[in-house]
A and B are shown apart, each in its own frame.
Chain A
Amino acid sequence: MTFETRPDMYSSVQHWMEVVTARHGLSEQDWEERLMVLWSYCHSLGKDPDTIIQEALDERDSKLDYMRHLRQWSNDQALGLHTTHEMQNVVRSFFINNGARVLTKPYPDVYGGGGS
């Protein structure tokens, strides 16, 4: 698989950035970090972002496979619970804002009876 030089050369990534920036006004720094995560995820699959999104939209099972891979890949980074969750959210945001709805859960202590 030949990848472009940067992830934001792909239309699905451009769309994601436009939609989220229009809504939330993320900074360049925010985007550099997010793009790194997405790029790393795509490379782990050997597929470019546009291909991933198209397959996720075409086929529910493909989308579910991508989410399973996301959980496995992010856990394999061994970066701690919070960072792992954040990385997963970057990729989920990419999917969601390109029209591929995915299940999202909050931090586990939101509903786990945490707090005194």
Chain B
Amino acid sequence: MEFLEVVGSRRSIRWFKTWEKVPRDKIQRILEVVRLTTCPGNLQPWRAIVVERDALDKETRDGLLGADNWQGAHTQAPVWIYWYADPSVTRPESFQERTVELTDVGALPPAYGWSKEMIEAAIQRGEVVQAGGPAINELIHGMPAEVGAAVAYAETVGACACACLAAVNEGLGTCLHMIAAPSKQDRVKELLGVPEHVLPVWVQLVGYPAEDPEAGGQRPRFPFETLFFEKSWGQPFPRDEEVVSQLTKERLLQEPMPKPGRFDELKFLSRMYGYPE
């Protein structure tokens, strides 16, 4: 699939073919995409535990499903990818190590003032970075742990968005769920052997859609002009209808919800799996 069609075709799929296995290579391909996703300082805080529902013992399976309140999509999806963020890799010393590595390989140009010495001085001693470079002395030197945790979490959320697009590119359905209600996160960590310091992000449900892959159409979005501005906040970036027309042809923009027949589809899916209408 072309990139724009992947983005336009992504839906939060909530009905899965519970009987159809997901080939292992497709899961790896999703993980490989995430591995190359952008993040500041190349910190890569994302971690994932891939779980095949049907390979679990009953206690673990029911524990994981119960933690997510037995949400229907979770019971149906044959693969669950638990995404966590590791805040230990967003500490100043990790920033230092990763940015020195980027400097060594030529990603951070000396022309902009990057050097091992500059990085050490800024991060370890808080020395002011000269004009032309990022103010890593202010951001990273003495960075509180909670700020580092927020960075780890935010970057992993972004990685999950890429993971969803990767799944769509593989012809799969996918959806992000809360891993667990806050009161049950520890239980999930216990079941999956996750270290205490690691932050829960999302569980990505993966499988072949039981609903139409268009899932009733594209979800409502705020108007373009209310989101994107030009020159200053609140001054709308004008939306060119010519571009909209082109993007419709390229399938970034698709038919909005609800497409005809959507509620009938939901009725019959409910009946198929034994849910109330």
Contacts and interface: CB of A to CB of B under 8 A. Distances in A.
Interface of A: 20, 23-26, 85-86, 89-90, 92-93, 96, 103-107, 110-111, 113-115
Interface of B: 18-19, 53-54, 61, 65, 69-70, 72, 75-76, 263-264, 266-267, 273-277
Contacts of A25: 264
Nearest to A101: B69
Contacts, number: 57
A25 B263 CA distance: 9
Given A103-B69, A110-B18, A24 B267 contact: yes
Contacts of B264: 24-25
Given A85-B274, A92-B276, A104 B72 contact: yes
Contact of A89 (B19, B266, B275): B275
A98 B241 CA distance: 43
Main secondary structure of the interface of B (DSSP, over half): helix
Contacts of B275: 89, 104, 106
A93 B270 CA distance: 11
B54 A113 contact: yes
B178 to A, nearest CB: 16
Nearest to A88: B276
Nearest to A114: B19
A23 B277 CA distance: 9
Given A24-B267, A96-B276, A107-B274, 8 more contacts: A104-B70, A106-B76, A106-B275, A110-B18, A110-B273, A110-B274, A111-B18, A114-B19
A15 B19 CA distance: 36
A94 to B, nearest CB: 8
A115 B276 contact: no
A89 to B, nearest CB: 4
